[in-house]
C-alpha cells in the first residue's frame, strides 16, 4: 500500500526517528518481560548443557564444550528475540488498527519496514550482549575476528526481524504469530549446530544439515569468536544477503498491496 502523499526528506527522517524511538521504547519499557527471560533461559542452557552435560561430552572440535556452544547460544537468543519483537509489535498494530493511520500517511513503505525492523534488531543485539556477558562467566571467549562477529550478528538480527514482519502481515490471530517460532525456528535452531559440530554426523545427515540456513549463521558467528566453522564463511554471508534481499522485497510488496492490512 503506497503512501497517498509525497514525503520529503526531512519529514521522512522524522517519521523514521519516531518509529525507531517507539519500537525501542516498547521493549525497554517492559524490559522485565523482554530482556530478563531470555537471560534466565540462556543461563540455564549454560548450566545444564555446558557445566553438567559438557563435562561428560568433552572437547568439541578442539575447544572446551562450553566455549563451543557459547556462540550458538548467543546467536539463538538474537534470532528468537529479533523475530518475536517485530512479529508481536506489528501484529499488535494490526490488531489495534492504528497501523492503518501509518499506511495512509506520507510515510514511505521502506521507512515503515525500517522502523519496525530497527526495533527487532535493537532487542536482538541487546539480548545478545546480555547473553554474551553471561557466557563470559562460564567460558573464556576470545574474539577471533571483530568485523565478522559484529557483521554476522547484525545481519542475522536484520534477517529475522524481516521474517517476523512477514509473519505479522500474514497472521490473522494471536495464535498465528506463534506457529513459525514453534514449528520452524525452534527445530531449525536446535538442528543448526548450536550444541554439536556437523562433522560428527553421518554423511547423509551432514548433507541434510546443509539445507538448514541457521547452520550457516551459527557457524559464521562461531568463526568470528573461535575461528572455527563447519562451513565456508563467505557462503554464510552470501546466504544471509540473499535472504535479506528477498525478505525485504516481499515485505515491501506486501505493504504496497496492503495484503492482510486492509479492512
Could you write out the DSSP letters of every residue in 235-262?
HHHHHHHHHHHHHHHHHHHHHHHTTTT-
Phi/psi of residue 63, each to 5°? -115, 155
pLDDT per residue as tens digits for the range 12-58: 888 899 999 999 999 999 898 889 998 899 888 888 877 777 667 77
Mean pLDDT computed over 209-228: 92
Half-sphere exposure of 94 (CA within 13 A, CB side): 25
Is pLDDT above 60 for 5?
no
Q: pLDDT > 90: what percent of the chain?
A: 49
Name the grid cell of 58. Answer: 568433552
Helix, strand, coil % in the chain, rounded to nearest 5: 75, 0, 20
The Cβ of residue 141 has, within 10 Å, a number of other Cβ atoms equal to 16
Kindly report, residue by residue over 94-137, the tens digit of the pLDDT: 888 888 888 788 888 999 999 999 999 999 999 999 999 999 88
For the ranges 64-68, 73-77, 254-258, the one whose mean pLDDT is highest:
73-77
Which comes out higher in pLDDT, residue 162 or 258?
Answer: 162
State the pLDDT at residue 2.
47
pLDDT band per the 50, 70, 90 thresholds, residue 1? very low
- What is the chain's mean pLDDT, rounded? 88
Residues 155/240, Cβ–Cβ less than 8 Å: yes
pTM value surpassing 0.75: yes
* Residue at grid coordinates 525452534: 186
Q: What is the mean pLDDT of residues 191-195?
A: 86
Q: How far apart are CA 238 and CA 145, in angstroms?
A: 18
The pLDDT assigned to 6 comes to 53
Helices (H) and strands (E) in the chain, counts: 13, 0
pLDDT of res. 7: 56
Amino acid at each position: 500500500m503506497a503512501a497517498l502523499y509525497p514525503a520529503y526528506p526531512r519529514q521522512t527522517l522524522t517519521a523514521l526517528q519516531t518509529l525507531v524511538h517507539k519500537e525501542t521504547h516498547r521493549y525497554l519499557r517492559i524490559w522485565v518481560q523482554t530482556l530478563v527471560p531470555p537471560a534466565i533461559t540462556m543461563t540455564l542452557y549454560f548450566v545444564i548443557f555446558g557445566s553438567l552435560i559438557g563435562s561428560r561430552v568433552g572437547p568439541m572440535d578442539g575447544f572446551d564444550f562450553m566455549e563451543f556452544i557459547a556462540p550458538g547460544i548467543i546467536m539463538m537468543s538474537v534470532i528468537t528475540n529479533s523475530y518475536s519483537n517485530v512479529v508481536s509489535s506489528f501484529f499488535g498494530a494490526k490488531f489495534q488498527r492504528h497501523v492503518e493511520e501509518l499506511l495512509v500517511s506520507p510515510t514511505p513503505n521502506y521507512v515503515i519496514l525500517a522502523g519496525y525492523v530497527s526495533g527487532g534488531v535493537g532487542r536482538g543485539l541487546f539480548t545478545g550482549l546480555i547473553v554474551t556477558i553471561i557466557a563470559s562467566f562460564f567460558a573464556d571467549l576470545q574474539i577471533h575476528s571483530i568485523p565478522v562477529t559484529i557483521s554476522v550478528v547484525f545481519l542475522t538480527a536484520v534477517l529475522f526481524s524481516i521474517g517476523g514482519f512477514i509473519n505479522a502481515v500474514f497472521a490473522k490471530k494471536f495464535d498465528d504469530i506463534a506457529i513459525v517460532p514453534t514449528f520452524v525456528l525452534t527445530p531449525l535452531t536446535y538442528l543448526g549446530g548450536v550444541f554439536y559440530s556437523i562433522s560428527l554426523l553421518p554423511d547423509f545427515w551432514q548433507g541434510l544439515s546443509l539445507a538448514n540456513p541457521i547452520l550457516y549463521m551459527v557457524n559464521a558467528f562461531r568463526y568470528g569468536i573461535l575461528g572455527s566453522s563447519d562451513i565456508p564463511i563467505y557462503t554464510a554471508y552470501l546466504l544471509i544477503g540473499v535472504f535479506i534481499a528477498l525478505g525485504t522485497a516481499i515485505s515491501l510488496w506486501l505493504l504496497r498491496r496492503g495484503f492482510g492490512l486492509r479492512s
